[in-house]
């Protein structure tokens, strides 16, 4: 019996190790969705804080423009370089431009843009809201009959949804420019063939799919960052932990959502026989 009891206790502890984190993830996911629902509910209630939304759009969008342009130029150049080498092995240079353009529009641009914005703006949002929580500024808003969700969370979520797609469009343009510079002017790919295939094979739906992903990524990173900062505890160290969780979980969710949305969009756009 003692051996059976000890074995049961070990099994119980092992179950806790694997089960409790799963329960905690589900609990936090539910809380994030509740925060999103509350934010959108407050958006349609007066007073309408358009100025706060514009300020958040400036911080998330304009503030992240430099890093997005930098990453886009290097990404387009590097991806084009690899594509040229691979396609030249199979005498398929005609498809270099369209391959680079479609990959940027549907995958690389929305994902990398969202990750860059998360690293810069998401961490700042979590830190700012976490500091306000620790210093009781959020509680002070409540005492003044101001909803912290409406004042602090909703503008940032809306700004994330709007600005990540806009930054993705910038990433597309700069990325294709960098790719063209390398492919045409460095590697000697025929420019007429390069642009001809981009013109004929790129559809509006390819760009729209990338923008849909970007909008969902914007919702994901902004809501997770707001949630982690809004409910931060434990003083200055707690703010640091909240910021770390915001960046890590936002990045993981962006990649997870990308896989799910890619599968869904492929099913929706599957040609009928």
Q: What is the pLDDT of residues 2-33, one digit of tens each?
A: 566 666 666 566 556 666 777 788 888 888 99
Confidence bin at 247 (pLDDT 50/70/90): very high
Cis before 93 (ω within 30)? no
Report percent pLDDT > 90 for the chain.
Answer: 59
Q: What is the pLDDT of residue 14?
A: 59
DSSP 87-127: HHHTT-GGGHHHHHHHHIIIIIHHHHHHHHHIIIIIHHHHH
**31-50: pLDDT as tens digits:** 899 999 999 998 888 888 89
Which among 42, 222, 223, 232 is positioned nearest to 137, based on CA atoms? 232
Instruction: Identify whether the C-beta of residue 123 lies closer than 8 Å to the C-beta of residue 67.
Output: no
Which among 225, 223, 263, 234 is positioned nearest to 34, based on CA atoms? 223
Q: What is the pLDDT of residue 140?
A: 92
Residues whose CB is less than 8 angstroms from the CB of residue 134 and which lie 6 or more positions away in sequence, other chains included: 232, 233, 235, 236, 238, 239
Confidence bin at 120 (pLDDT 50/70/90): very high
Q: How far apart are CA 17 and CA 86, in angstroms?
A: 46
In the predicted structure, residue 245 carries a pLDDT above the cut 90: yes
In the predicted structure, residue 62 carries a pLDDT above the cut 60: yes
CB atoms within 10 A of CB 143: 8
Q: How far apart are CA 273 and CA 257, in angstroms?
A: 29
Q: Report which DSSP code applies to 59.
A: I
Q: Report which DSSP code applies to 64.
A: T
In the predicted structure, residue 133 carries a pLDDT above the cut 60: yes
Residues whose CB is less than 8 angstroms from the CB of residue 31 and which lie 6 or more positions away in sequence, other chains included: 227, 231
Q: How far apart are CA 84 and CA 82, in angstroms?
A: 6
CA–chain centroid gap for 178, Å, is 22
Average pLDDT, the chain: 89
Q: How far apart are CA 61 and CA 161, in angstroms?
A: 10
**80-104: pLDDT as tens digits:** 988 888 888 887 777 888 899 999 9
């Amino acid at each position: 019996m003692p051996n059976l009891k000890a074995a049961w206790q070990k099994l119980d502890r092992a179950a806790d190790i694997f089960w409790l984190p799963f329960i905690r993830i589900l609990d936090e996911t539910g809380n994030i969705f509740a925060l999103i629902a509350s934010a959108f509910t407050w958006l349609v209630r007066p007073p309408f804080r358009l100025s706060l939304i514009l300020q958040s759009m400036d911080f998330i969008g304009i503030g992240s423009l430099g890093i997005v342009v930098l990453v886009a130029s290097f990404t387009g150049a590097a991806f084009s370089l690899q594509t040229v080498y691979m396609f030249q092995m199979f005498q398929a240079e005609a498809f270099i431009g369209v391959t680079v353009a479609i990959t940027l529009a549907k995958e690389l641009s929305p994902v990398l843009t969202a990750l860059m914005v998360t690293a810069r703006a998401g961490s700042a949002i979590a830190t700012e809201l976490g500091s306000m929580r620790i210093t009781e500024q959020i509680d002070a808003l409540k005492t003044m009959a101001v909803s912290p969700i409406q004042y602090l969370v909703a503008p940032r979520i809306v700004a994330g949804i709007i600005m990540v797609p806009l930054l993705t469009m910038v990433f597309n343009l700069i990325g294709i420019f960098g790719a063209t510079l390398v492919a045409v002017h460095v590697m000697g790919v025929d420019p007429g063939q390069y642009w001809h295939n981009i013109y004929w094979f790129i559809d509006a739906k390819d760009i729209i799919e990338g923008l849909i992903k970007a909008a969902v990524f914007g919702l994901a990173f902004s809501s997770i960052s707001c949630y982690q900062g809004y409910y931060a505890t434990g003083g200055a160290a707690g703010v640091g932990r909240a910021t770390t969780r915001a960046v890590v979980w936002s990045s993981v969710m962006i990649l997870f959502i990308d896989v799910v949305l890619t599968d869904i969009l492929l099913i929706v756009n599957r040609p009928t026989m």
